[in-house]
A and B are shown apart, each in its own frame.
Chain A
Amino acid sequence: EILMTQSPATLSVSPGERATLSCRASQSVTSSLAWYQQKPGQAPRLLIYGASTRATGIPARFSGSGSGTEFTLTISSLQSEDFAVYYCQQYDNWPPLTFGGGTKVEIK
């Protein structure tokens, strides 16, 4: 089973600032990595797939990078609607499909 580790668990950021979220895989997942955003009481929403491709309708301030075992999600200038929990997921080697534990981005 591939273990996905996200850091930090909580990130406090002021609106307009840059946020950098990390995701590490216990073994290579090539570029088979997705990022999801989840707001309270809502289902997760796809942001990034293939490690760096934005999903349809996702603003350009969201960007993904990395390959192998190290991945990053960057939000260039945080807007009020971006405060949420973010999950990474690998789909390279499964079952099981595995998610990271999540990073909560909160208002500083």
Chain B
Amino acid sequence: EVQLVDSGGGLVQPGGSLRLSCAASGFTFSTYDMNWVRQAPGKGLEWVSCITSSGSTVYYADSVKGRFTISRDNAKNSLYLQMNSLRDGDTAVYYCVAQRGTYSWFDPWGQGTLVTVSS
């Protein structure tokens, strides 16, 4: 079964840090570009970051550039998102999402992990 399992969310104070993880199974993880997409409570979907299959190239939304770092470990079939200098506006469910190639759609999606930034 193709599956992405997100973890690592929780409550953190403004200015704090959190590391999200995503475990992949059921497909050849190392051949997929991987993304993080977030959804603030009651809002729409916002793309956050992408890392290419080899890990050689990364992209970020302007809203998180300089604060978030995406990485992957193909040997462990895992994706990560290191989030620093967190703000109230970063509160959202974060989804790990696979992308077959650079100009491709998103499938599958993880179940999401909730990050709440609040004092």
**Using a CB–CB distance below 8 Å, which chain A residues touch chain B?**
32, 34, 36, 42-46, 49-50, 55, 87, 89, 91-92, 94-102
Contact = CB atoms under 8 A, between A and B. Distances in A.
Given A43-B111, A45-B109, A49-B105, A95 B45 contact: no
Q: Is the interface of B mostly helix, strand, loop or mixed?
A: strand
Interface stretch (B12-20, B24-32, B55-63, B74-82): B55-63
The 5 closest A-B pairs by CB, nearest first: A49-B105, A34-B105, A46-B107, A97-B47, A43-B109
Q: Which bracket fits the contact residues of B? A: 20 to 34
7 contacts: A36-B106, A43-B112, A46-B107, A89-B45, A91-B105, A92-B103, A96-B59
B112 A96 contact: no
Contacts of B50: 95, 97
Contacts of A102: 44-45
Nearest to B45: A99
Q: Is the interface of A mostly helix, strand, loop or mixed?
A: loop
A32 B103 contact: yes
A34 B107 CA distance: 10
B44 A101 contact: yes
Contacts of A98: 47
A87 B45 contact: yes
A32 B104 CA distance: 8
B68 interface: no
A95 B61 contact: yes
Contacts of A87: 44-45
Interface in B33-51: 35, 44-47, 50
